[in-house]
């Protein structure tokens, strides 16, 4: 019997397509992938659901317990963003750490060897999710304000334009701080615990130890970010907050990125 | 085409990979053989830019891996089937890769079908996958971008015999259509059936490489005599030391004629005299790498 060699139908790798060849993967595509990765696992999805439920919870508390004159859109939004400010950074942490704890770094960095671009895409995704969360909280607060009007609350729609910016900055900075801690520590539980404990410990020390008090005024991220939730933040308060951001966000992010770029993927 | 040149990796004073060079040509399957801890995975990770080499270089079609803009379209990689997020579904894993590489979403369904993961399996989370299913998902992932080159680290692990047979067919077909395959294993039999070329590594060094037929031909002659003790004496006297096989024969690195004449001169009755074939290669593989396995076990 003679084996007949059939002509190959198509050579592997012969298909020309967009994104083939030497051109890198566009940043927009990487960002979409990283955004999708934030919500396509149970942990990520539930974090987002819990943030939504907690935001709704704050609105209920405000409507039920706050004095009538505090039931305004501005107050509802400031309070409604509190759960996101606490939980969204955890999503930022997991975005960085899960690559190592779930070992997906192996496929992520095989498909995108330019690791710095993956880190940047993760930061873009974190910022976008913070903006989206703030927008969603605004919609929720508007709905709550309508109810407040119906139930005899103040229901004022006035909101300080600068405060909107401050609230947004607050969300973005804390989610980036989470990402920075995640990139630096590369371990989910460790990063979450240290993210929550170290700044708080520093706040407590700043309160208790007299000679640390002045330093804490500039280096305590919890303390210096408090004015962000209230209208009328001054230039000096921005300066103090900026210094704290350098120490708590920029520095760990820089060190974390270097670590991600250099670490051997196994 | 994969080109590996003088690749070395040291961890502290321990050389994990030591001066490894080989090439994988289009249209061939290269079997990368060695015991556990021989340096196979480290070499593959260095080829893929995941581990920085201490010395040497590796290129894909003449370019370092890290310089390939969108490597998924040129080279499919499966280094560890278990390295997937346990909470993602099989389809989601492939969808993320398709989005990254910029291939059509239809390709996800096609590749799921190609590796035999049905829609029920694709909907399940990777956590619930058996190792065999993870290997199939990993193969689907590697072939998703329609690459011309495949690098697979122990892809047969966890596959049942039917799955191993299927995978061989898949890789053979891929190479026959002009693709390049680098496939590692610690089992000679596993790669022997599909590889055209073998690269054998032990203790971080290449101990043998070449065409499979060439290596099989050079693997010596099996000889068995009625009086094995007498045969041993004859072999020693003629300067042809052999290594005993497990079934009572001896593998000698010499032509059948040479051994036959020596036996005839001594008046010995031979029961068997044939090329060692894969049995001999296995013997060589064991001899060359045995020391390293022991070292690994002790380390």
pLDDT value, residue B291: 57
CA A264, CA B17: separation in Å to the nearest integer?
15
Distance from CA of B116 to the nearest CA of A (A): 19
How many CA atoms lie less than 13 Å away from A125 in the CB half-sphere? 27
Extents of the domains making up chain B:
2-210, 216-298
Q: Which sequence spans correspond to the domains of chain A?
A: 27-260
Angle at A22 between CA A19 and CA A26, to 5 degrees: 45
Do B65 and B3 touch, CB atoms closer than 8 A? no
In chain A, pLDDT over 90 holds for what percent of residues?
76
Treating both helix axes as pointing N-terminal to C-terminal, what angle do B90-101 and B106-114 enclose, rounded to 10 degrees?
130
A133-142, A205-214, A229-238, A252-261 — which is least confidently predicted? A205-214
CB spacing of A107 vs B52 below 8 angstroms: no
Q: What pLDDT score was predicted for residue B289?
A: 58
Q: Which of B85, B96, B179 sits opposite A13 (nearest CB)?
A: B179
Q: Helix, strand, or coil here: A197?
A: helix
Pull the structure tokens for residue B212. 């499979």
What pLDDT, on a 0 to 100 scale, did the predictor assign at position B215? 79
CA B249 to each of CA B231, B237, B280: distance values in angstroms, whole numbers, following the listed order: 10, 18, 11
**Counts of helices then strands in chain B (DSSP H, E):** 11, 13
**Cα separation, B139 vs B142, whole angstroms:** 5
Structure tokens given for A233: 């933040």
Is B179 in contact with A20 (Cβ distance < 8 A)? no
Residues whose CB is less than 8 angstroms from the CB of residue A11 and which lie 6 or more positions away in sequence, other chains included: B148, B177, B178, B179
pLDDT at B186: 87
In angstroms, what separates the C-alpha of A31 from chain B's closest C-alpha? 9
Inter-chain touch B101–A111, beta carbons under 8 Å? yes
CA distance B24 to chain A (A): 15
Which of the two residues, B187 and A128, has the higher pLDDT score? Answer: A128
Task: Please name the fold of domain B2-210.
Answer: Rossmann fold (3.40.50)
List, in sequence order, every residue forming a beta bridge with A118; answer none if it has no partner.
none
For A31, the token pair is 């960002």
User: E strand or H helix at A242, and its extent?
Assistant: helix A235-245
What is the structure's pLDDT at A19?
Answer: 40
CB A122 within 8 A of CB A128: no
What is the rounded average pLDDT for all residues in chain B?
Answer: 89
Find tokens 């296995």 and name the residue: B282
Cβ distance A19 to B52 less than 8 Å, yes or no, reads no
Of all residues in chain A, what percent are helix, strand and coil, respectively (each to 5)?
Answer: 75, 0, 25
Strands B149-153 and B75-78, sheet pairing: parallel
- Is B75 in contact with B68 (CB distance < 8 Å)? yes
Assess whether pLDDT exceeds 50 at residue A116.
Answer: yes
* pLDDT number for residue A110: 97
CB B192 within 8 A of CB B280: no
Phi, psi (deg, nearest 5) at residue B144: -60, -40
Query: Rounded CA gap, A99 and A88, in Å?
Result: 18
Tell me the mean pLDDT in the region A45-68.
Answer: 94
Compute the distance between CA of residue B113 and CA of residue A16 in angstroms, rounded to an integer. Answer: 22
- When scoring A5, A30, A107, A112 by the number of chain B Cβ atoms within 10 A, the one with the most, hence best to mutate, is A107
Residues in chain B, pLDDT under 50: 293-299
CA distances from A256 to A34, A136, A177, B83, B171 (A): 18, 30, 11, 22, 40
Q: What is the per-residue pLDDT for B279?
A: 65
Q: In this structure, what is the dihedral angle of CA atoms B189, B193, B196, B200, given to the nearest 10 degrees? A: -10
The values of phi and psi at residue B38, to 5°, are -80, -15
Q: Determine whether the interchain pair A265/B70 forms a contact, defined as Cβ–Cβ distance below 8 Å.
A: no
**Residue B285 is encoded by which pair of tokens?**
């593989």
Structure token pair of residue B250: 């001896």
Among the partner-chain residues B52, B86, B102, the one whose CB lies closest to the CB of A29 is B102
Name beta bridge partners: B298: none
Which run of H or of E encompasses A243? helix A235-245
Residue B108 near residue B141 (C-beta atoms within 8 A):
no
Measured distance CA(A40)–CA(B83) in Å, rounded: 17
Tell me if B83 and A12 make a contact (CB, 8 A cut-off).
Answer: no
Task: Identify the closest residue of chain B to A27 by CA–CA distance.
Answer: B100
pLDDT at A22 exceeding the cut of 60: no
pLDDT of res. B221: 85
Closest among A53, A86, A231 to A156, alpha carbons compared: A231
pLDDT tens for each residue of B7-56: 999 999 999 999 999 999 999 999 999 888 889 999 999 999 999 999 99
How many CB pairs below 8 A link A and B?
A: 129
Report phi then psi at A187, rounded to 5.
-150, 120
For residue A4, the model assigns a pLDDT of: 46
Residue A23 is predicted with a pLDDT of 62
d(CA A33, CA A35): 5
CA dist B137 and B122 (Å) reads: 9
B277 CB contacts (<8 Å, ≥6 apart)?
Answer: B216, B219
Q: Range with the lowest mean pLDDT among A1-10, A102-111, A233-242?
A: A1-10
Q: pLDDT: is A37 or A4 the higher one?
A: A37
Residue A6 clears pLDDT 50, i.e. is over it: no
**d(Cα A213, Cα B140) in Å, to the nearest integer?**
58
The ipTM estimated for the assembled molecules is 0.88
Q: Does the beta-carbon distance from A19 to B102 stay under 8 Å?
A: yes
Nearest partner of B98 among B124, B81, B73, judged by Cα? B73
Contact at CB, A25 and B50, closer than 8 angstroms = no
**A7 and B CB contact within 8 Å:** no
- What is the tens place of the pLDDT at every residue in A182-218? 999 999 999 999 999 999 999 888 888 888 888 888 9
Closest residue in chain B to residue A40, using alpha carbons only: B88
> What backbone torsions phi and psi does residue B114 show, to the nearest 5 degrees?
-60, -35
Average pLDDT, rounded, for chain A: 90
Exposed e or buried b per residue across A92-130, where buried means at least 16 C-beta atoms within 10 angstroms of its C-beta: bbbbbbbbbbbbbbbbbbbbbbbbebbbbbbbbbbbbbb
């Amino acid at each position: 019997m003679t084996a007949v060699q059939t002509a190959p139908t198509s050579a592997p790798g012969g298909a020309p397509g967009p994104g083939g060849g030497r051109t890198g993967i566009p940043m927009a595509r990487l960002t979409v992938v990283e955004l999708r990765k934030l919500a396509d696992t149970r942990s990520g999805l539930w974090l987002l659901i819990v943030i939504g439920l907690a935001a709704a919870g704050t609105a209920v508390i405000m409507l039920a317990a706050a004095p009538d004159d505090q039931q305004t859109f501005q107050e509802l939004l400031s309070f409604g963003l509190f759960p996101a400010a606490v939980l969204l950074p955890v999503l930022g942490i997991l975005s960085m750490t899960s690559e190592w704890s779930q070992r997906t770094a192996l496929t992520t960095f095989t498909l995108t060897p330019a690791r710095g671009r993956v880190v940047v895409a993760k930061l873009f995704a974190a910022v976008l999710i913070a903006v989206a969360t703030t927008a969603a909280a605004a919609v929720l607060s508007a709905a709550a304000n309508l109810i407040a009007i119906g139930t005899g609350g103040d229901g004022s729609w006035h909101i300080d334009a600068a405060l909107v910016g401050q609230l947004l900055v607050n969300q973005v900075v804390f989610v980036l701080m989470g990402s920075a801690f995640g990139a630096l520590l590369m371990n989910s539980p460790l990063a979450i615990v240290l993210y929550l404990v170290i700044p708080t410990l520093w706040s407590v020390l700043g309160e208790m130890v007299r000679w640390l008090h002045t330093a804490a005024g500039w280096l305590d991220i919890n303390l210096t970010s408090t004015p962000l939730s209230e209208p009328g933040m001054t230039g000096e308060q921005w300066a103090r907050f900026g210094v704290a951001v350098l120490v708590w966000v920029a520095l760990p992010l820089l060190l974390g990125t270097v670590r991600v770029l250099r670490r051997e993927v196994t | 085409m994969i080109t590996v040149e003088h690749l070395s990796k040291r961890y502290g004073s321990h050389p994990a990979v030591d001066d490894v060079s080989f090439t994988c040509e289009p249209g061939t399957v290269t079997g990368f053989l060695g015991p556990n801890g021989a340096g196979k995975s480290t070499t593959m990770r260095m080829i893929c830019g995941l581990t920085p080499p201490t010395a040497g270089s590796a290129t894909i079609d003449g370019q370092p891996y890290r310089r390939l803009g969108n490597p998924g379209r040129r080279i499919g990689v499966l280094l560890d089937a278990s390295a997937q997020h346990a909470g993602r579904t099989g389809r989601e894993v492939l969808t993320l890769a398709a989005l990254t590489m910029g291939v059509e979403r239809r390709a996800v369904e096609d590749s799921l079908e190609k590796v035999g993961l049905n829609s029920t399996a694709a909907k399940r989370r990777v956590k619930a996958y058996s190792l065999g299913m993870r290997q199939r998902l990993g193969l689907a992932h590697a072939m998703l971008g329609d690459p011309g080159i495949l690098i697979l680290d122990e892809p047969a692990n966890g596959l049942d015999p039917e799955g191993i047979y299927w995978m061989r067919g898949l890789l053979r077909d891929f190479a026959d259509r002009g693709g390049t395959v680098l496939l590692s294993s610690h089992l000679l039999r596993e790669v022997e059936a599909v590889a055209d070329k073998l690269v054998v590594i032990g203790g971080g060094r290449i101990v043998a490489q070449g065409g499979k037929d060439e290596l099989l031909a050079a693997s010596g002659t099996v000889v068995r005599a009625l009086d094995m003790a007498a045969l041993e004496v004859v072999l020693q006297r003629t300067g042809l030391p052999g290594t005993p096989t497990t079934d009572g024969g001896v593998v000698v690195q010499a032509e059948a004629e040479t051994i036959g004449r020596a036996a005839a001169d001594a008046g010995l009755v031979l029961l068997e005299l044939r090329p060692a074939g894969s049995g001999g290669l296995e013997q060589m593989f064991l001899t060359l790498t045995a020391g390293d396995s022991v070292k690994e076990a002790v380390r």
